[in-house]
Homo-oligomer: A and B are copies of this chain.
Amino acid sequence: MAWDDGYIAVDWGTTNRRAYLIDAGGECVREFEDGKGVLSVPKDGFHSAVGEIKAHLGDRPLLLAGMVGSNRGWAEAPYVPCPGGLRELADGIVWVEEGAGIVPGMSYVGNGRADVMRGEEVQVLGAVAAGLIPPDCTVCHPGTHNKWVSLRDGGIQHFRSVMTGELFNLLKQHSILSDLLSQDALEGEAFDAGVRTGLTSDDLQSELFAVRARVLLGEAQRADAASYTSGLLIGSDVRIGLKEAGEGPVIVMARPELTRLYAAAIRAAGRGATELDGERVFLAGMARIKELV
A residues adjacent to B (C-beta < 8 A): 71, 79, 107, 109, 113-116, 144-145, 160-164, 166-167, 170-171, 173-176, 202-206, 208-210, 212-214, 216-217, 219-220, 233, 236-237, 240
A219's partner among B114, B170, B202, B203 (CB-CB below 8 A) is B114
Nearest neighbor of A173 in chain B, beta-carbon distance:
B174
Residues of B with C-beta under 8 A to A206: 160-163, 240
Bound complex: CA of A170 vs CA of B145, how far in Å? 16
Kindly name the residue among A144, A175, A205 whose own CB sees the greatest number of chain B CB atoms within 10 A: A205
**Pairs across A and B, CB under 8 Å, 27 listed:** A107-B213, A107-B217, A109-B217, A114-B210, A114-B214, A114-B217, A114-B219, A115-B213, A116-B213, A116-B216, A116-B217, A145-B209, A161-B213, A162-B203, A162-B209, A163-B205, A166-B175, A167-B205, A167-B208, A170-B170, A173-B174, A202-B202, A204-B204, A205-B233, A205-B236, A205-B240, A206-B240
List the B side residues contacting A164 at CB < 8 Å. 205
The residues of B that contact A212 with a CB separation of less than 8 Å are 116
Give every chain B residue within 8 A of A233 (Cβ-Cβ). Answer: 205
* Copy count, this protein chain: 2
Instruction: Write out the residue numbers on chain B whose beta carbons fall within 8 Å of the beta carbon of A115.
Output: 209-210, 213
A240 to chain B, nearest CB (A): 5
Residues of B within 8 A of A203 (CB): 162, 240
For A219, list chain B residues within 8 Å (CB): 109, 114
Given A71-B216, A163-B206, A204-B205; 17 other pairs, CB 8 A cutoff: A107-B213, A107-B216, A109-B219, A114-B210, A114-B214, A114-B220, A115-B210, A116-B213, A161-B209, A162-B209, A163-B205, A166-B175, A167-B205, A170-B171, A205-B237, A205-B240, A206-B240
